[in-house]
Amino acid sequence: MKDISKKFRGLNAFLVTPTSEDGERIDEARLRSLIDEQVEAGVDGVTVFGSTGANGSFTEEERKRVIAIAVEQVAGRVPLISGTGSMTTSETIRLSKFAAAKGVDAVLVVPLTYWPLKDNEVEEHYTAIAKAVDVPLGIYNNPVTTGTDIKPELLARLARLDSVAFVKESSGIMERIVQLHLLTGHSVSVFNGKDSIMLEAAGVGADGWFSGGCNLVPRECVELMRLATSGRIDLARAAFLRLYPLFDMQSRKSTLRVVQTGLDIVGRSVGAPRKPLRPLAPDDRRALEQVLVEMGLVGRKIASVA
């Protein structure tokens, strides 16, 4: 097993990117507070500019600013990963080099593209990044969002690159976690990236969990991860089923919209998604309020007022 892969395990909070109420400016104070909240809750790592962080909604300069703030605020307390996937290979390399120079522990690259990529294009893209950037590299497969599906056989070829330390598998296809372990000989860490299948993923050997819902319920996610990886299946199942209505809504309405709306409902607003993305529509917001009431995260009066 690559030594670099051992560092990347457990629960990693996929952070939202806090903004002003109109979504147009990065809110540094909210970002610092969110990072502290996650670290103090006991997460094993944090990531900025994953899908939940609205990776494609911010300019290169804005992303650099957030990376710099995150490095400063995390201050080495847990591993910090930065999403650096961009529309072109050259921009991805440029941003990855910046993140590495600032002191992130790894970069996570999603094939952010308008055109679904062919396998040879994916392979050339990641090979170029791995050769150019002196920091551990994570490969992020999220076919629903990107339109590009990096299948296990191609991921296994990419895992041979020396700097590839982990894979974030967000297809939701459970057997891929097993396939990736078998095809790579456990040489890289394999993370589940879909909250609604977390318990199943842990059961088939996922090394970790990138969670967007963790923004809203960090302590509950930390506890679920602890139970799921310690063999206490009955307790883990009960904890998962309590969180499942939230995770299910994330799958149906998108994690970004659900989490940002949920944080507003519970009084920990991180601003609005940048347009054209919008928070949940009124009916969906009321449904989420009810979920949060039933989870005990907000009082009954919120649901009744709505």
> What are 164's strand-pairing partners?
137
Q: Is 168 among the catalytic positions?
A: yes
pLDDT of residue 211: 98
Residues 6+ apart with CB under 8 A from 242: 220, 295
- Determine which one of 140, 244, 253, 301 is catalytic: 140
pLDDT of residue 304: 34
Q: Does the predicted TM-score (pTM) go above 0.85?
A: yes
Peptide bond into 79 cis (omega under 30): no
Angstrom distance (rounded) from CA 247 to CA 195? 6
pLDDT of residue 7: 80
Angstrom distance (rounded) from CA 98 to CA 3? 24
pLDDT tens, N- to C-terminus, the chain (306 residues): 466 666 899 999 999 999 998 989 999 999 999 999 999 999 999 999 999 999 999 999 999 999 999 999 999 999 999 999 999 999 999 999 999 999 999 999 999 999 999 999 999 999 999 999 999 999 999 999 999 999 999 999 999 999 999 999 999 999 999 999 999 999 999 999 999 999 999 999 999 999 999 999 999 999 999 999 998 999 999 999 999 999 999 999 999 999 999 999 999 999 999 999 999 999 999 999 999 999 999 875 443 333
φ and ψ of 175, to 5 deg: -65, -20
pLDDT of residue 270: 97
Alpha helices in the chain (DSSP H): 28-41, 60-74, 89-102, 119-132, 143-146, 152-158, 175-184, 198-203, 218-228, 233-253, 255-265, 282-294, 300-305
- Determine which one of 2, 126, 168, 194 is catalytic: 168
pLDDT of residue 5: 62
Length of the chain, please?
Answer: 306
pLDDT of residue 300: 52
Q: Which is it for strands 45-48 and 164-169: parallel, antiparallel or unpaired?
A: unpaired
- CATH code assigned to 3-230: 3.20.20.70
Q: Is 118 among the catalytic positions?
A: no
